[in-house]
Amino acid sequence: MAAATPSHAISHHSPVTSLSKSPKLPSRFILPISSNPQNPTLRHRPSISPNPLKPTLRHPLHVTNVLSTPNPATPTTDAADTTFISRYTPDQPRKGSDVLVEALEREGVTDVFAYPGGASMEIHQALTRSATIRNVLPRHEQGGVFAAEGYARASGRPGVCIATSGPGATNLVSGLADAMLDSIPIVAITGQVPRRMIGTDAFQETPIVEVTRSITKHNYLVLDVEDIPRIVREAFFLASSGRPGPVLIDIPKDIQQQLVVPKWDQPMRLPGYLARLPKPPQEAHLDQIVRLISEAKMPVLYVGGGCLNSSEELRRFVELTGIPVASTLMGLGSYPCSDKLSLQMLGMHGTVYANYAVDRSDLLLAFGVRFDDRVTGKLEAFASRAKIVHIDIDSAEIGKNKQPHVSVCADVKLALQGLNEILEGKRADLKFDFSVWREELNEQKEKYPLSFKTFGDAIPPQYAIQVLDELTDGDAIITTGVGQHQMWAAQFYKYNRPRQWCTSGGLGAMGFGLPAAIGAAVAKPDAVVVDIDGDGSFIMNVQELATIRVENLPIKVMLLNNQHLGMVVQWEDRFYKANRAHTFLGNPAEETQIFPNMLKFAEACGIPAARVTTKGDVRAAIQTMLDTPGPYLLDVIVPHQEHVLPMIPSGGAFQDVITEGDGRSTY
């Protein structure tokens, strides 16, 4: 194994040992961070620590921007693929951009979402020389990063997006923040101005490493062309291991142009990170969890996005225990929503019976979740009667919002495998009987089902989603924007497998649905992909219709068009006496007309489209959408008075749940 050489990549939260061999950085580029770690204004979010004895916090107090240390090489099992056949001879010099593209090929990348610019032209030229990587050209860098997220969410593999320096790089910010909050593995690559110009306020220069430091799991500024193979390997490893997240690689243009003979056998140098990866769960802890289950009368599973890779193990666990399952927005599909033990979604707009179950439970099994405020509401009242077991891969999440009685910091998949082995080994001795508890919850299901009202010929948005669920047999991949349509899609489409549901959860980024559908369609070309969108979200990235047409992606857009920012309108109705504060998205001069005409956007991009305005025509219109080859847009006109129910007001408890009313009433 080759000995490690000093790195010339800026890589955050690594200690400085020697800077003598590295190009000196102009101080203008370095974020002015105080040396006082107690300063509360300098809170950033690194995830890799060089010190294996200090716990890595998700919200630590201090981070410094320094050059990565020449630590001893870290042996890993993830060795370079010796079977890869390069188009270059081993000793043939090639540009740094070609090294980058080959490094992506060696990671198994077949699709990228890249928008060119001056500082990334070399990368795009290199992409044209690749026989294996296809570039799906977005029409906006935000569309590219959201598409990379859709790719990752639908496939489980890291998505890759590429942008130029300056505004191109800053247009990735929302997507990186979204991926960070939802733990989505993406690798974002940005061009940067040449090294000699960094810090000079050059044309299209932004210090994107500094801008994105707190919203990436890790990031790099490459200052030595020889580091590219190692950095790319590290980036993919970091993005997909432990708690997944986004990694950014910033590459100056002169590095892209420099000739080099790459060394593909460089080991990764992540000793601090590797030392901190969670260990397998201890059997004693798992035995303790099994004992708590055997003592419980009213247990509930609370499962989140951390369970998406352990759906099979979760189903087996439920089969062995008979415990009902409530899912977070991010966890939908990890356990089949149509199963009799599913309580569907809990939280602010979760089902009454899911929130009832958590409120009444004496044991809450929280697997792969982070006790988000949209789930818990008032923390003191959430599961106040229950003993709490929290299993999560990220130690910083355990006890952050809600203190558990038993905690296990481990991969949920390994923990569930261990629990299932114990349960199977003790089946003769363990006799779980939660039938009385399940019957109590079934009564709640019958008493408070998800429902909606119909007013004349108007189309209830919930009904349109229900019909889509029926006509696709619940088998489509669904993407959404953010707002009322997102919540209705979570409630009324039944997700029976993981990675069917792609939505912006933690960040709540409008404009997510259409580009995410592009990524999902590229990752799963044989799947039916439907973007259930709202008119407000849809128009934020409407330009991506051009990408869909050019790539001929068979994406169906079902637009629930109420001419308003629906969720904000709902809050105006409930809490602001229905005073409209800039939430009408139509043309005030012609309020009775649909504006803008979404069908014209589709027509401009050569995409078939139709509008439906009455409930009786919905089923046939959706069937036509699904039967039409290639992309299609269906504009479903719905009333703006509809409210997403149930609803627990922000900061409220289960006792505050709202189950009746809409914008036709006064509050």
Q: Which residue among 125, 204, 288, 543 is the active-site one?
A: 204
- Residue holding tokens 């959404």? 480
658-666: long-range pairs with CB below 8 Å, 24+? 658/574, 659/352, 659/448, 662/453, 662/573, 663/569, 663/570, 663/573, 663/578, 664/455, 666/577, 666/578
DSSP 8-state symbol, 640? T
Helix axis angle for 412-425 and 283-295, nearest 10°, is 60
Q: Give the whole-angstrom CA distance, residue 315 versus residue 231.
A: 38
Q: Give the whole-angstrom CA distance, residue 2 versus residue 51.
A: 24
Q: Which residue among 567, 598, 625, 647 is the active-site one?
A: 567
> Is 203 among the residues known to form the active site?
yes
How long, in residues, is the chain? 667
Q: Give the whole-angstrom CA distance, residue 462 versus residue 527.
A: 23
Strand partners, 188: 161, 248
3-state secondary structure of 479: strand
3-state secondary structure of 50: coil
Q: Which residue among 102, 105, 107, 141 is the active-site one?
A: 141
DSSP string, 348-396: TTS-HHHHHHHHH-SEEEEES----HHHHSSGGGTTTTSEEEEEES-GG
Question: Who contacts 638 (Cβ-Cβ below 8 Å, separation ≥6)?
Answer: 458, 459, 460, 461, 464, 560, 561, 562
Q: Give the whole-angstrom CA distance, residue 460 versus residue 645.
A: 13
Q: Give the whole-angstrom CA distance, residue 235 versus residue 158.
A: 10
> Is 615 among the residues known to form the active site?
no
DSSP string, 291-309: HHHHH-SSEEEEE-GGGGG
Beta carbons within 10 angstroms of residue 660's beta carbon: 9
Q: Give the whole-angstrom CA distance, residue 193 versus residue 188.
A: 17
Q: Residue 526 is encoded by which pair of tokens?
A: 């044989």
> Is 141 among the residues known to form the active site?
yes
Q: Which residue among 1, 84, 203, 447 is the active-site one?
A: 203
Q: Which residue among 95, 217, 253, 556 is the active-site one?
A: 253
> Is 253 among the residues known to form the active site?
yes
- Asked whether 532 and 512 are in contact (CB, 8 A), the reply is no
Q: Give the whole-angstrom CA distance, residue 515 versus residue 161.
A: 12
Question: Who contacts 609 (Cβ-Cβ below 8 Å, separation ≥6)?
Answer: 598, 599, 602, 603, 632, 633, 634, 635
Give me the helices (H) in 508-565, please: 513-523, 535-540, 544-551
**Which of these, 320, 369, 315, lies nearest to 342 by C-alpha position?**
315
Amino acid code (one letter) for 459: I
> Is 558 among the residues known to form the active site?
no
Cα within 13 Å of Cα(667), Cβ side: 17
- Mind telling me the catalytic residues? 141, 203-204, 253, 567
